[in-house]
Amino acid sequence: MARSLSSAKRQQIQLRKLEREYRGKVAAEIARAMRLMLDAYARTGSIPNLPEETYPRLVDLWREMARSSIEAFGNDIVDQGKAIGRPLETKSFFDFFMRLADEWLGMEMIRRRITSVAETTRANIVSQVRIGQSEGLGVAQISQRIAKAVPSISTQRGALIARTETHGAANFGANKVAQTIGFTLQKQWVAAEDHRTRPFHAAANGQKVDMDQPFIVGGEMLMYPGDEAGSPWNTINCRCTVTYEVMD
């Protein structure tokens, strides 16, 4: 149990580091798209479309988040194996981590979430333009108002998105690596311990199951926190983690 608690603490530190690294990058990409749309609106007076390069740039950023998160948690699993006398060569897993990142990125739910981020970014501009028009404001006034709001909007969304995606990718990667190393493992749900944790996630804290079995959380079967097969209300903004224990 002590090993699980130590692993859980280490994972929480890793996740906070990943969040800090990527919330600014996500916010910057959202702000970039919003400013490009604002420039187009200021020039034409027409509600602009999302810049063509925004979706590919988001995909590249999601891939980078996945690779960093999967590598961090994958190496943690490998290190646990080494600690109990099961030597594994970390370098041999590097390409595997990269393939897992692409596998995660190729999931339909992840593609939908990237599309949703792109669509919501444009929807924020459209909504603010229409509000300004309803108030009788001109193009210049509307543009100035939205420009002032861009930092706040992008920062808030960046924090939520970075938390959701880095946690989801990290837990996905840890689950895949644990399956690959060939040990008999049990996994344990570890809930974030603060007031923001969902009650049903807190209730699942300490739940142990065999490696190939799902956790029962909020009435749903989840292989790990942030499982893309779960409902949005059960996975978005989830900060829980999983620890693994070698059984043989």
Q: Tell me the pLDDT tens digit for each residue of 161-197.
A: 999 899 889 888 888 887 787 767 788 898 887 888 9
Please give the share of the chain, as a percent, with pLDDT higher than 90: 57
> What pLDDT, on the 0 to 100 scale, is given for residue 70?
92
Q: How confident is the model at residue 247 (pLDDT cuts 50, 70, 90)?
A: low
Distance CA 187, CA 245 (A): 6
φ and ψ of 73, to 5 deg: -80, -30
Of the given ranges (2-16, 134-148, 182-196), which has the lowest mean pLDDT?
2-16
Q: How confident is the model at residue 229 (pLDDT cuts 50, 70, 90)?
A: confident
The per-residue pLDDT for 182 is 72
**Lowest-confidence range among 71-80, 133-142, 218-227?**
71-80
Nearest to 144 by CA among 61, 227, 35: 35
- The angle subtended at Cα 49 by Cα 46 and Cα 54, nearest 5°, is 145
Any idea what the Cα angle at residue 193 is, between residues 226 and 219, rounded to 5°? 45
pLDDT confidence of residue 183:
67
With a cut of 90, say whether residue 28 has pLDDT above it: yes
Q: What is the pLDDT of residue 55?
A: 96
What is the pLDDT confidence band of residue 1, given thresholds at 50, 70 and 90?
Answer: very low
pLDDT over 70, % of the chain: 92
pLDDT for 194 equals 80
Residue type for 158, please?
Answer: G
Please report the pLDDT score of residue 88 as a whole number.
Answer: 67
Q: How far apart are CA 241 and CA 9, in angstroms?
A: 10
Rounded Cα–Cα distance for residues 231 and 43 (Å): 41
Answer yes or no: is pLDDT of 117 > 50. Answer: yes
Q: What is the pLDDT of residue 246?
A: 67
Return the SS3 of 174.
helix
Identify the top-confidence range among 10-19, 154-163, 226-235: 154-163
Per-residue pLDDT at 228: 82
Please state, rounded to an integer, the average pLDDT across all residues of the chain: 88
pLDDT at 248 over 60: no
Distance CA 39, CA 47 (A): 11
* Residue 195: Cβ-neighbour burial (10 angstroms; 0-12, 13-18, 19+): exposed
For 84-102, the pLDDT digits (tens) are 676 666 667 788 889 999 9
